[in-house]
Amino acid sequence: MYFRGSLLSKKVILILCTLVSIVGATKGGYKNYGMAYLVIPASAPSIASLSVFSQVAGDPGALFDNPAGTFSKELKLSFTHFFWFADVSGDNIVLSFPWKNRTIGFGVYNFRIPGIETRKLPTDEPDGIVESSYLNVTAGFSQVILRRILFGFSLKYLNEVLYDDISKGISADVGLRTDIPGDMILGLLLKNPFFYSGGKFNDAYLPRMIKVGIIRPELFVGSPFIISFGLNLISELNTEISGFQIGLKAVVFDRLQINTGFERIGEKTKKAFGFGFSLEKVEVFYSLLFLPEGLGTPKILSININPELFF
């Protein structure tokens, strides 16, 4: 869904500038954060383009990446399974549905790292083996405001079990997108601006970041191959490191979709590739994420279903 307009209104510019100013004002010099899994997109289509197209996904799985991307006029149910090395895995399920002039989404994401050995002394045999786990329970919505802006907001409860330590609290994401001249789409995403835990705010704990993205959608409309490409500029506010993401999407005969993406933040790079197909009420997507050397290649499978298929 695109919102046509010849020029950005003053209200759009004001909102974008206000969000950027708020983030800039809260920027800190922190160098580390917890719950780093939150920087990895949570659905196969988003991972394949490294989240460049999350803002226009129309996909329930976008709830964890960019709540503006959940906007759709259809009831949808999404399942995603995340395979990694050494039995590290993740699963999430999201339900989104239209309600009045907005889309409502609810999702649960569980990420597990099993088989971690614990020792009090440097011995060959561990004192025990524990499983670290991360739980993300998210609710959000997306809707059109000021006639041309798509606004998305999500509130999430986060729970981290790491060795004998437990961290839990609340955070949020805010996303905006609007059409701009040249048949392009401009987006803004603010992720994890705060972490409220134990009765106080801890801005340093989560991976806080801001993204500004631009997409040129649907080139060669009317041909068997429709191409879209986009760019995200990223600033990680805790580490004070910036970078970019580039994504390319090709839709073939309105059934087959192929995505690829490249990311560079600081000195670290990621690459991704994925493909999927859609039927009347079912979409299946499979992606590979190529992480820096030594971190493996996660594989991600997502299935989106319109539950009306069964009724």
Quote the tokens at residue 163. 């060795």
| Structural domain total, the chain | 1
Going by C-alpha positions, the residue among 236, 239, 142 that lies closest to residue 190 is: 236
Instruction: Tell me which residues of the chain have a pLDDT lower than 50.
Output: 1-31
Neighbours of 36 (CB within 10 A): 11
Q: Quote the CA–CA distance of 175 and 151 in Å, as a whole number.
A: 6
pLDDT per residue as tens digits for the range 9-53: 444 444 444 444 444 444 433 345 566 667 788 899 999 999 999
| Burial of 197 (C-beta count, 10 Å sphere; 0-12/13-18/19+) | middle
Report yes or no on 77 lying in a domain: yes
If one counts every other C-beta atom within 10 angstroms of the C-beta of residue 121, the result is 5
Residue 4 lies inside a defined structural domain of this protein = no
- Domain assignment present for residue 2? The answer is no
Contact predicate 282/309, CB 8 Å: yes
Report yes or no on 74 lying in a domain. Answer: yes
In a domain, 60, yes or no: yes
Do the domain assignments include residue 99? yes
Per-residue model confidence as pLDDT tens digits over 70-108: 999 999 999 999 988 777 889 999 999 999 889 999 999
**Which domain CATH number covers 273?**
2.40.160.40
Alpha helices in the chain (DSSP H): 10-25, 44-48
- The parent domain of residue 233 ranges over 10-310
56 within a domain of the structure (yes/no): yes
Residue type, 241: I
Q: Within a domain: residue 3? A: no
